[in-house]
Each structure stands twice: as C-alpha cells, then as structure tokens.
Amino acid sequence: MKFTEEHEWLRPEGDEIVVGITEHAAEQLGDIVFVELPEVGTEVSKDDECVVIESVKAASDILAPLDGEITEVNEALVNDPGKVNEDPMGDAWFFKIKPSEPEQMDDYMTEKEYQDMIS
C-alpha cells in the first residue's frame, strides 16, 4: 500500500488501484456528511479533483493520484457518508482506478514514510 501527501491511501488490487483517505485525514476532517463520487468510466489525470467530501466543518477535494480510468466507485458512501469516519482504511474506499501510467505509484510514500510525515 502507498500513501500520498494529500492523505490518500492507494492499494493495488489486480491491475486496479483502490483509493481512500487515511485514518489521520478522516480524524482531521471530522464528521463526514457528504460524498460526491466521479462517474465510472471517467478518464482522469493525476491531480484532477475527482471526489468532493464535506465534513461538518468544510468541503475538501480528493485528487486523482494517478492518470487513468475510474472503474468502480463506492456508492454506499453517498447514502452513508459517516462510514468514512468509521472505517476509512477499509469499507470506506472511494473509487478504483485503472492506471495508464502504473509507474506513477513509485512516487508515493510507504506506510512508514507516511507515518513519519504526520507524526
């Protein structure tokens, strides 16, 4: 699993990458009350805004961590945004992306590097 400076986690699953936000990010954001997901099939470029999440405090964007195509989104979050606080590293993934440049993964942090960054 890899981590971005934007507090996303990236978990390879076959030739796709599952994307979510870290426990630390969920805690910082506070209670999540709204999630807007991209459409399946959308072609995204690295750093495109592709998810909007709103907490009780503010709106934030989740950026596409890689170039590629969105292959699946976690619709369950739309009706139950609070899941992001309950299980950010598990059930509350946001989308799966099929990267067109898989080597972009190499730029991201290991879990240890991420933990060092936030500590």
Partner 1 sequence: MDDLQSLPLHDLHVDLGAKMVPFAGYEMPVQYAAGVMKEHLHTRAAAGLFDVSHMGQVILRGTDVAQAFEALVPVDVMGLGEGRQRYGFFTNDDGGILDDLMFANRGDHLFVVINAACKAADLAHMRANLTGVEIEEITDRALLALQGPKAEAVLATLAPEVADMRFMDVRTVALCGAECWVSRSGYTGEDGYEISVPEDAAETLARALLDHEDTLPIGLGARDSLRLEAGLCLYGHDIDTTTSPVEAGLQWAIQKVRRTGGAREGGFPGADRILRELTEGASRKRVGLAPQGRAPMREGVPLFAADDSADQIGTITSGAFGPTVQAPVSMGYVPIDMAAPGTIISAELRGKRAPVEIAPLPFTPANFKR
- Hey, what are 102's tokens? 């898989």
The yes or no reply on residue 109 touching partner 1 (CB under 8 A) is no
Residue of the chain from 36, 67, 69, 72 that contacts partner 1 (CB under 8 A): 36
Report the site for partner 1 in 82-101 (rule: CB under 8 A): none
Question: Half-sphere exposure of residue 93, counting CA atoms within 13 Å on the CB side?
Answer: 16
Q: x/- string (CB under 8 A) for partner 1, residues 12-31?
A: ------------------xx
Whether residue 19 contacts residue 68, with contact meaning beta carbons closer than 8 Å, is answered with no
Closest listed residue to residue 17, CA positions, set 97, 110, 102, 77:
97
Host H or E run for residue 119:
none
The yes or no reply on residue 33 touching partner 1 (CB under 8 A) is yes
Residue of the chain from 1, 43, 57, 118 that contacts partner 1 (CB under 8 A): 57
Residue of the chain from 1, 40, 59, 117 that contacts partner 1 (CB under 8 A): 59
**Least Å distance between CB 75 and partner 1?**
13
Amino acid at 109: M
Which one-letter DSSP state was computed for residue 6?
T
Residue of the chain from 6, 23, 48, 54 that contacts partner 1 (CB under 8 A): 54
Between CA 85 and CA 106 the distance in angstroms is 28
Which one-letter DSSP state was computed for residue 109?
B
Binding site for partner 1 (CB under 8 A): 30-31, 33-34, 36, 52, 54, 56-59, 78, 81
